[in-house]
Amino acid sequence: MTAQPTAGGPRPPDGAPSPAETGMFAEVSRFFDRAARYSDADPGLLEQIKQCNSVLQLRFPVYNDDGQIEVIEAYRVQHSHHRTPTKGGLRFSMRVDESEIMALAALMTYKCAIVDVPFGGAKGGIRIPSRSSSGFRERATRRYTSELLNKNFIGPSVDVPAPDYGSGEQEMVWIADTYKALRPGQLNAYGCVTGKPVSLHGIPGRLEATGLGVYYGVRECTDQREDMRALGLERGLKGKRVIVQGLGQVGSCAAHFLEEFGDARIVGLLERDGGTYNEGGLNVASVMAHWRVSGSVKDYPLGTPVATPDEGLELECDILVPAALENAITAENAPRIKAKIIAEAANGPVTADAEAILTERGVFLIPDIYLNAGGVTVSYFEWIKNLSHISFDRMQKRHEQVDRHEILDTIEDLTGRQLGDARRSALTAGHGEIDYVYSALDDTMTVAYRQIHEVWKSKGMEDLRTAALYFAISRVAAAYESQGIFP
C-alpha cells in the first residue's frame, strides 16, 4: 500500500515533466539558481544541495466517518541530510502535491541554515480537507505516523515533524503518542515531534513563535536607516501602516506583536472571504474577537469592508504581510501592489516573476526563508528540552531570585531608601521559560538579519532573498565539505 522512498519520487510518464520541474519546487529552484551564481562551491555540490535527497509518496487506507475505506495520499520529503535530524512541518490540505512538499522541504533547509539550527530541511503533507472531523484526522495522522516509522522517516534523530497549515498541537500529540506506542522504551520518544502542548513536553512560546519571529524580523529591517530612507520611510516600526493577509496562527500573532511591541498601525486585516480596512488603524484584538463571533472580518463595524483578499493586497500601506498560502502575489497583481515593504510571513507568497516586477519598482522584500524561521527556531528549543528532559528555567530561576534580593538589599543599605513590596517583587522575579524562549528567538532573528544584510550590501547582490539564499547555501556547502564525500 506504500511507495518506496526515492531521490525524486515516482517517475512520471515518458515525456511528462517531473515534480522537480514544475510547480512550487521550480519556483524555489529559480531563486536557488540565482543565488548559486555567486557561490564558488563545486557545481556538483550545488546540485546536491538543490535537489531533494528523499521523497516518500504514500497511499494508505483509513476508515472515514461513514465506516467506508478511503485511500489517503500523503508525502514526506527530506530535502537535505547535511545535518540530521531533518525538520519540517506537516500540512493537511487537499491542495498538497509532491512539488509543493519538495519546495517547502527545500525552504526548510535554507531557513535552518540561516538561523543556524542543526537540522536538514523536511516537509510532509496529507491530502485530506483541513476541516475534516477530529476522528478522521486522528485515524489519518496515526496511520501516517506508522507508515513513516515503517520507512524510517520519523524519530528524534531521524526526522522531526511540526505543525503547519491545517495542523496543530492535537495532531502533534497523536504523532508522539503513536510513535511512543510503536517504539516502547525509547527515552527520547517525545523528541520525535515538536509543536506539542506545554502539558505534554512542549515549550511555552511555540504557538506564537513564527508570528513573533516575523515581528522581530520586520523590526530589524525597519531599523536600518539607509534602507528606510531609500524607501522614503522613517526609521523604526512606530506608526507604519501594515496590512496582514491571513489570520491563522502566524498572521494573527504577527499582527498582534507588530501592534503591541512595535507600535505599528494595523490598517488592514484580510481573510479568505475578504477583509476590513481603516486608514486610522484597527484594534487587532477587537477584530479577532469579532471574527470569532461572526465568522467574518468583512463586517467589522469600525472598518471599511474589503470584498476579497486579492483586493486587500492592493490597498495603501507601508508594509504588507502575506501570511496565508503560497503564490498570493503573482505577475498579474504585482504592478498594483502599493506597499513599500513586503514581509513574507507565509512560505512562497511571492512568485519569481512577481518579485522581478516588485524589485524593478523599488519594493523591498523580506524573504520567507528568513522571516518565518521563528517557528523552527523555537521548535529547536523544544527538541533540546525533550532530549535534555529539563526546562530551561528550572536550574537557575531560584538562583536568580536570590541574587537579585541580595543586590536590592545592598542598594537599600547604601541609599537608606526602601523599595515597596510590589516593586521588590517585580525586580526579583526570576526568568520563566518563556522569557528565555522570547529572548533567544529575538537574538536569533536579529543576528541572522544582520548577517544576511551584510552579505547583501558587501557583495552588491540584487536583493535580500538572493543574499539570504547565498548565505544558506554557503553554510550547507561548508557542512558537506567538512564531512567529505564517501568514495
Tell me the per-residue pLDDT of 368-393, one tens digit each, with 9 for 90 and over. Answer: 999 999 999 999 999 999 999 988 76
Tell me the per-residue pLDDT of 191-245, one tens digit each, with 9 for 90 and over. Answer: 999 999 999 999 999 999 999 999 999 999 999 999 999 999 999 999 999 999 9
Tell me the per-residue pLDDT of 400-446, one tens digit each, with 9 for 90 and over. Answer: 766 676 787 788 788 888 877 777 677 666 667 888 899 999 999 99
Q: Are 260 and 253 in contact (CB under 8 A)?
A: no
439: its cell numbers: 529572548
Report phi then psi at 30, rounded to 5: -65, -45
Burial of 418 from C-beta contacts in 10 A (0-12 / 13-18 / 19+): exposed
**The pLDDT value given to residue 17:** 72
Instruction: Decide yes or no: CATH 3.40.50.2300 for domain 19-200.
Output: no
| Geometric angle at alpha carbon 393, from 391 and 399, rounded to 5° | 140
Mean pLDDT of the chain: 91
Same fold, 19-200 and 209-371: yes
484 pLDDT above the threshold of 90: no
**The pLDDT value given to residue 1:** 41
Q: What pTM did the predictor assign?
A: 0.89
Q: Are 377 and 448 in contact (CB under 8 A)?
A: no
218: its cell numbers: 520586520
Tell me the per-residue pLDDT of 269-299, one tens digit each, with 9 for 90 and over. Answer: 999 889 999 999 999 999 999 999 998 999 9
251 pLDDT above the threshold of 90: yes
User: Whose grid coordinates read 509543536?
Assistant: 195
Q: Are 142 and 174 in contact (CB under 8 A)?
A: yes
7 pLDDT above the threshold of 50: no
Residue positions annotated with a catalytic role: 123
For the chain, the domains span: 19-200, 209-371
3 pLDDT above the threshold of 50: no
Q: Quick one: average pLDDT of 116-145?
A: 94
**The pLDDT value given to residue 417:** 83
94 pLDDT above the threshold of 60: yes
CATH of range 209-371; options 3.90.1150.10, 3.30.70.1400, 3.40.50.720, 3.40.50.1820: 3.40.50.720
Question: Can you give the three-state secondary structure of 145-175, one letter per residue?
Answer: HHHHHHCCCCECCCEEEEECCCCCHHHHHHH
